[in-house]
Amino acid sequence: MTQNAPILLFCYKRLECLQHTVGALKKCVLAPESDLYIFSDGSKTENDKEQVNAVRSFIKSIAGFKKVIITESEKNKGLAASIIQGVTEIIDTSERVIVLEDDLVVSSNFLVYMNQGLEYYAENKKVYSISGYTIPMNVPEGYPFDVYFLQRASSWGWATWKNRWDNIDWEVSDFAEFSKDKKSIRQFNMGGSDMFSMLKKQMNKEIDSWAIRWCYHQFRTQTYSVFPISSKVHNIGFTSDATHTNVHNRYQTKLDSGDTLDFKFSAKAALDPAFLGQYQRFYSIYTRLVSKIKTYIIKARNKTNG
């Protein structure tokens, strides 16, 4: 039997979110047989130190896993650098990893799904990652699988293999050429109207994202991420102080009940129009604009009431 993949948990300063994340993760089937690596980023400012220290005090108390290994950074690396360095370090010896951030609550069958997916697609080089999260999806009647495929990867609870991870060009060395290719940009945006704009912001250092670079690599190599039809992950990080989220949570999705422990995977990695169409609508300019308007209204109301 293949050994369970190690779990990598990245955290910063949000203690309450982290406590919920760890609480749910400890309830997972396979948690007691899995190694947990925790990466605690250093404080960005003096004001953050107290919160970071509170997080570090909590993580030292975590039990319920095969092993708990903690890495505390003296300096603030930022999310992208933390994940790239942390995953690279562990995957070099483990060959596969499961990755979480400190604002994700998982279903009790999350680790089972992830490990089964890693094993099932280990030799299928068309699959680059396993996602634990999915947006709300209308599943076609009679659909025989527990998963579907997209070229857009997800950073909310995911897993991959060393022989995929090692191939990523984190510098996006062909960006200058790509940014002039309108046809390729349109194709890239088939995964969501925000794709190219996010990549451009990353290259201009306006955002700090490893995930958009991962998505770009999948686009260039015509490879896929596996998504569950029933989400194994719920993001609880949509608060006013969150780093990479806004207040209106259009990503709210129903969390898997955890009852299923034997998943039906599709051997053929290919896009299904029924799922792709729903994803494109979800990430359309119209839907994103409506979300921004709702966020503005909520923030304005909170400011008035506050």
Note the pLDDT tens digit of each residue in 213-252: 999 999 999 999 999 999 999 999 865 444 444 455 667 8
DSSP category for residue 75: S
Beta-carbon neighbour count of residue 12 at 10 Å? 27
Distance CA 142, CA 257 (A): 20
Q: Residue 268 is part of which domain span? A: 7-305
Note the pLDDT tens digit of each residue in 160-188: 999 999 999 999 999 999 999 999 999 99
Alpha-helix residue ranges (DSSP H) falling in 27-161: 49-59, 79-94, 110-120
Distance CA 236, CA 293 (A): 21
| Closest C-alpha among 261, 231, 245 to residue 106 | 231
Note the pLDDT tens digit of each residue in 36-53: 999 999 999 999 999 999
Find the radius of gyration of the CA atoms of the chain. Answer: 19
**pLDDT for res 215:** 95
Has residue 118 been placed in a domain?
Answer: yes
Has residue 226 been placed in a domain?
Answer: yes
**pLDDT for res 283:** 73
- How large is the average pLDDT for residues 91-97? 97
| Closest C-alpha among 123, 96, 124 to residue 111 | 96
Residue 306 has pLDDT above 60, yes or no: no
More confidently predicted of 263 and 298: 263
Reported pTM: 0.90
Q: What Cα–Cα distance (Å) separates residue 53 from each residue in 98, 100, 209, 290?
A: 25, 20, 25, 38
Give the count of domains, the chain.
Answer: 1
**pLDDT for res 200:** 97
Q: Domain with 177 in it: what CATH number?
A: 3.90.550.10
**pLDDT for res 305:** 63
Beta-carbon neighbour count of residue 42 at 10 Å? 16
| Closest C-alpha among 93, 101, 110, 89 to residue 40 | 101
Has residue 1 been placed in a domain?
Answer: no
Distance CA 112, CA 30 (A): 7
Helix (H, G, I), strand (E, B) or coil at 179: coil
